Amino acid sequence: MSAFNGGVAIARLLTSAGVDTVFALHGAHVDPLFQGAAAEGLRLVDMRHEAAVGHAAEGYARVTRRLGVAVVTSGPGFTNVITSMANAFTDGAPVLYLAGAPGIGEAETNGLQSGIDQVALAKPVTKWSGQANRPQDVARLAAHAIRVALTAPMGPVFLNLPQDVLGAPIPDDGATPALASPGPAWPAPASVDAARALLEGAKRPAIYVGAEAWFANAGEALRTFVETSGIPVFSDFTAHGLIPADHALYGGTGHKLAYVGAERPDVVLALGARFGLFTLGDASHLFPADAKVIHVHTNGAELGKVRRADLAIVADAGAVLDALNAVPPAMEHAALDAWARTVRAAKAARPRKLDADAAGHNGPIHPWHAVKAVAAAARDAIMVADGAEAYHWLNEAIAQTLPGSYLTHGHFGAMGIGLGLAIGAQAAAPERRVMLLSGDGAMGFTIAELDSLARHHLPVVVVVMNNHSWGASQRFQDAAPAARRVIGTTLGDARYAEVARGFGCDGVTVTELADLAPALDAAFASGRPTVIDVRVDYAPPAPELALMVLARKG
């Protein structure tokens, strides 16, 4: 009997797709996939919870711009990964989710981990969801799923694999299904001409660059366009680093536009970005209502959905930049220089104000001082942020020099994603340093993944911002009318450094600011997974979180 089955077929297919690592949690239904990965030399990172497995696959995809792969077993293994599917779906991460299932011959027998329609459950949160019903269909449908995931607009896909189908022998004819995906979607020349004309007529143009620009590998084209045109650029979190944080024309992540002042953009070139949560600021919106918008995205459904698009272009962000670079817009550089100075002044004033606000602080470490130390230590690292208040603070200090280096919450706002994302990032880029900044609340979701860090020798440095609170939630209760109680939002004195040592990692507790930078340096130098439990003050709220609380007060 042939040893070639669905597990081996999928492993060969993944190798041909450029995948070298699979994230998984074992179950009998998916053992053929584990055996196939071992037979074909795929690295298999086995983990402790399926939610973290999915987030690790997301982290791998976001760092490499390649397909991430998550393997989980049937029933509860599958349901545990649905949050990751939804997270990848809302943020356009190309992840292949493979789940085992009871055999087709076990239908309606009340078998182990049966009784739910996994394909139907996955359908609303994936680009494609299907099931292989015959052994010879496993590789064909897996290849189809991969093509769908990697075709713009990218996103997650799901393939359900009944146990008797996955493990059955199939003819080994040496063939691997073709995986070629369409190339970038090019813009119509007339659309590029119209975009050029709008930019040439602008007095205060701004570029807002999003996740699709990173996945399109548009960094070089973006930098060329920015430096040729002189237009300031802002980014969402996934695209942070496409322009180095210290570049004279980089204004910061998108929320920083709220602090530019009275002079606001009059024309916005949005490249591969989605409007919504990160662009509807409380300071008269990040982009003024009367600003003209050129919106470039591969998903036509995003164009005009939230914000009117004066010019909508369904195309690849990199392709549009290439076309604009071929014939650069003729900009009025004297006016642009003044606008760029305004942006730079606002960018420089922001940390100075935070420094002044934190000056003379007494008590536990001020969160602003903590995130400044973290951001300085991790400028050339891959930075992961998890937890509402922790990440709001980090957004004020984040300053990465390389692209693909800031992984954090997207539109779905899922907490507890950090350890999974960090594991995926470190597995994807073993030569780079990886740091996770987590709130103490978020840290608890998948804390057992510290064991995964230790077992797989992944030297992630984890900083826990420990204020003994579900900080963002408690802020809303604090600001509410007196009749509403602070309840269910405080945490105890958990000792994360001790937990880390129990799982085989290093652990350090920091209570004095002067000890934080040396602890960070020592953790990176050790080459070991390390948790640094930083005791920070709850009292000062993160500024952008404070704006959100005030907007919803009462």
Q: What is the CATH number of the domain that holds 292?
A: 3.40.50.1220
Looking at the fold, whether 239 and 125 belong to one and the same domain comes out as no
Q: Which two tokens stand for residue 552?
A: 């919803």
In this structure, the strands spanning 43-46 and 21-24 are parallel
- Domains identified in the chain, total number: 3
Report yes or no on 154 lying in a domain.
yes
Is 451 inside a domain boundary? yes
DSSP labels for 21-58?
Answer: EEEE---GGGHHHHHHHHHHT-EEEE-S-HHHHHHHHH
Of 277, 321, 326, 270, nearest to 296 (Cα)?
270
Reading the block at residue 308, the tokens are: 């009117």
- Which residues form the catalytic set? 29, 50, 113, 413
Tell me which residue of 173, 199, 245, 279 sits closest to 396, measured CA to CA: 245
For residues 92 and 274, give the distance between their C-alpha atoms in angstroms, rounded to a whole number. Answer: 11
Q: What three-state secondary structure class fits 259?
A: helix
Hey, is 142 helix, strand or coil? helix
Contact status, residue 93 vs residue 67, Cβ threshold 8 Å: no
Alpha helices in 257-398 (DSSP H): 317-326, 333-358, 367-377, 388-397
pLDDT of residue 284: 42
The answer to the question of residue 176 being in a domain is: no
Mean pLDDT calculated for residue range 198-212: 95
Better pLDDT: 392 or 260: 392
- Asked if residue 531 belongs to a domain, the reply is yes
Q: In terms of domains, do 373 and 340 share one? A: no
Element (H, E) at 182: none
In a domain, 277, yes or no: yes
Looking at the fold, whether 320 and 247 belong to one and the same domain comes out as yes
- What's the distance, Cα to Cα, between the start and end of the chain in Å? 69
Q: What mean pLDDT value characterizes the chain?
A: 91
- Residue 306 — very low, low, confident or very high, per pLDDT cuts 50/70/90? confident
Packing angle of the helix pair 6-16, 138-150 (nearest 10 deg): 30
Q: Compute the average pLDDT of residues 488-503.
A: 94
CA angle 82, 88, 94 (to 5 degrees): 120
Please tell me whether residues 333 and 285 are part of one structural domain: yes
Q: Report d(CA 286, CA 255) in Å as an integer.
A: 7
Q: Does residue 509 share a domain with residue 365?
A: yes
The span from the CA of 498 to the CA of 509, in Å, is 9
Which DSSP symbol is given to 343? H
Q: At 97, list the tokens.
A: 């989710």
Among residues 316, 345, 374, the one where a domain terminates is 345
Confidence of residue 480 (pLDDT cuts 50, 70, 90): confident
Which has the closest alpha carbon to 196: 266, 263, 269?
Answer: 269
Least confident range from 29-38, 69-78, 212-221, 275-284: namely 275-284
**Cα–Cα dist 143/327, whole Å:** 39
**Nearest Cα to Cα of residue 90 among 57, 64, 125:** 125
Domain that holds residue 161: 6-166
Same domain? 110 vs 27: yes
Is the confidence at residue 512, as pLDDT, over 50? Answer: yes
Rounded (10°) angle between helices 543-551 and 388-397: 130
Q: Is there a domain that residue 180 lies in?
A: no
Indicate whether 151 and 262 sit together in one domain. Answer: no
What is the model's pLDDT at position 550?
Answer: 52
pLDDT digits (tens, 9 = 90+) for 136-175: 999 999 999 999 999 999 999 999 999 999 999 997 765 6
